[in-house]
Chains A and B, each alone.
Chain A
Amino acid sequence: MGFIGDTVDSIKSIKTRQLLSQAITLGMIVTSALIIWKALICVTGSESPVVVVLSESMEPGFQRGDILFLRMTKEPIRAGEIVVFSVDGREIPIVHRAIKVHERGDTKEVDVLTKGDNNDIDDIGLYAEGQLWLHRHHIMGRAVGFLPYVGWVTIIMTEKPIIKYILIGALGLLVITSKD
């Protein structure tokens, strides 16, 4: 009961200026995070510079919960590269390996077929109706680096949103009741 009494006291004793100052600090933190994210998008050339591996289709190399660092350069797509692509109609990007590449001589446009390392069949079933190949505009980036396990935080927060609300609630409470 002492803790609740202290919390109520500290909420009552908030001064407006202090509250505003804390709000601005919080705003600065959020904005810095946004700036870093947008800068990463610029530097890597990819719309999503970091992705979390969600399925087991690339095991044993990439497990669920690993994060991949992506990069998109003007260099042509070649077989063997691990590409992240999105298909019309599906919102979640897929991370698989290119197994067939046909590059046009004149236009440099490219037809790519992908397959997950752990899948038995190629990805034609995942593409849109009637689509046989991926093109450059479907591909968001190439995986160049990887960190294991770090992505579990995102998976837990997406699949059990209650944890996200608890975390944000606790953070908010901490900000309001902290003495500095």
Chain B
Amino acid sequence: MHSFGYRANALLTFAVTILAFICAIASFSDNFSNQTPSAQIQILNINWFQKQPHGNDEVSLTLNVTADLQSLFTWNTKQVFAFVAAEYETSKNALNQVSLWDAIIPEKEHAKFWIQISNKYRFIDQGHNLRGKDFNLTLHWHVMPKTGKMFADKIVMSGYRLPNAYR
């Protein structure tokens, strides 16, 4: 009962149990953080808007993204993955979500930012439905913890519209 083997086994089991418990509590504590993120997106320019050879519409935009995601960071946060998606509806598709830009925010200090970018990923439709299309620009964020449950949310900004003709 007092051999090295038994003692090592008991110690290891206890250590793993306590570690698992601590991870669970750390994750649970994330539920109590008060989160007040804010964001604004402005379309500075429609760079070009064309129909591709195989029939799909494609548009290139320059966006101005201002956001303050500092309140999302807790002591259990490893990084926040933020991305801007254009969301719209067409006659064939009930929902289209196209990610235009994303960024990894590793620390709280970098979470308040102002950035001007053209779309990192191509904004291509399934079809040619984009002329005159109303769409939302949504800033999504995914909080990746140091341990435990990941959670995500978004801010929807509506009122954007693509031009009626190709250019």
Contacts and interface: CB of A to CB of B under 8 A. Distances in A.
Contacts of A147: 23, 147-148
B140 interface: yes
B79 interface: yes
A125 interface: no
Contact of B142 (A60, A82, A103, A105): A82
A62 B95 CA distance: 29
A145 B99 contact: no
Given A144-B149, A144-B150, A79 B99 contact: yes
Interface in A77-93: 78-82
A97 B85 CA distance: 13
Interface string A74-118: 001011111000000000000001011111110010010001010
Nearest to A142: B150
Contacts of A62: 144
Contacts of A104: 92-94
B83 A80 contact: yes
B121 interface: yes
Contacts of A102: 93, 95-97, 126
B93 A143 contact: no
A100 B144 CA distance: 20
Interface residues of A, number: 28
A166 B85 CA distance: 50
Given A61-B144, A79-B140, A80-B85, A145 B150 contact: yes
Given A80-B140, A122-B121, A99 B93 contact: no
B106 interface: yes
Interface in B98-142: 98-99, 102, 104, 106, 121, 126, 140, 142
A100 B148 contact: no
B152 interface: yes
A27 B107 CA distance: 49
A111 B79 CA distance: 28
**Most chain B beta-carbon neighbours within 10 Å: one of A60, A76, A80:** A80
22 contacts: A60-B79, A60-B106, A61-B78, A61-B81, A62-B144, A76-B95, A79-B85, A80-B152, A99-B83, A99-B98, A100-B97, A102-B93, A105-B91, A105-B94, A108-B94, A122-B121, A144-B149, A145-B27, A146-B145, A146-B148, A148-B146, A148-B147
